[in-house]
């Protein structure tokens, strides 16, 4: 159970992240054979790729969230922080703040509120610096050295990728685990950056 503030709002404990994404995680899977899988889940989400921003923005379960990279540890793990979040329908003021955070020209909005389909069709689609990209992830969740880990099978359009993700409150624990697995030479890359790279888009 998450600790609660006096108004009973769950406190979000910041977690550091490290992720490597490639066409296959076969060798790593072999190395981790025998580590028990604790949970399996399938996730359908839409990544909102902005060609002029490195922020990570997606829509999952009708909730739109933007995270920005708050800090990078010298050994590679990154600390991401949620700065914008809205369900649908979302109001025009939220969309203006979203565009300001992306640092791109605000959309010309004709409505006070937008459903999910209206947002994708009327706000995202006409803007040449934005791309809404549906992604399906099959996650196998387990723990390693006390850290939460996942193997992800990722289907994004015609792309098929695999990812290994580590998350913990202590970045040094993550870095030690990465080194123990011999992954220190692999680039730590979030999904937004990986999708842009795979699609040959601006890597920012």
Distances (CA, A) of 201 to 76, 194, 196: 23, 10, 5
Token readout for 117 is 């389909």
pLDDT for res 13: 64
CB 55 within 8 A of CB 68: yes
Distances (CA, A) of 81 to 69, 85, 106, 117, 196: 6, 11, 23, 26, 21
Residues 85-140 have pLDDT tens digits of 999 999 999 999 999 999 998 778 999 999 999 999 999 999 999 999 999 999 99
Enumerate the domain spans of the chain. Answer: 16-199
Q: Is 163 exposed, middle or buried (0-12, 13-18, 19+ CB in 10 A)?
A: buried
SS3 label, residue 119? helix
Q: CATH classification of 16-199, choosing from 2.40.320, 3.30.420, 2.30.29, 1.20.1530?
A: 2.40.320
Mean pLDDT over each residue of the chain, to the nearest integer: 89
Pairing of strands 130-144, 113-114: unpaired
pLDDT for res 12: 58
CB 162 within 8 A of CB 21: yes
pLDDT at 67 > cutoff 80: yes
């Amino acid at each position: 159970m998450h600790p609660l503030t006096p108004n009973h709002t769950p406190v979000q404990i910041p977690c550091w992240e490290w992720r490597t994404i490639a066409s296959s995680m076969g060798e790593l899977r072999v190395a981790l054979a025998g580590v028990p899988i604790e949970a399996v889940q399938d996730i359908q989400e839409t990544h909102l790729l902005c060609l002029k921003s490195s922020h990570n923005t997606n829509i999952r379960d009708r909730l739109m969230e933007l995270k920005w990279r708050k800090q990078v540890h010298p050994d590679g793990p990154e600390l991401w922080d949620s700065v914008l979040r809205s369900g649908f329908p979302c109001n025009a003021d939220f969309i203006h703040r979203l565009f300001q955070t992306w640092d791109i020209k605000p959309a010309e909005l004709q409505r006070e509120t937008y459903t999910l389909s209206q947002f994708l069709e009327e706000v995202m689609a006409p803007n040449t610096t934005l791309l809404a990209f549906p992604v399906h992830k099959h996650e196998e969740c387990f723990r390693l050295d006390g850290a939460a880990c996942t193997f992800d099978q990722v289907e994004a359009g015609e792309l098929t990728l695999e990812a290994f993700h580590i998350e913990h409150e202590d970045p040094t624990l993550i870095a030690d685990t990465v080194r123990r697995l011999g992954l220190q030479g692999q680039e730590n890359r979030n999904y937004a950056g990986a999708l842009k790279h795979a699609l040959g888009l601006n890597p920012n």
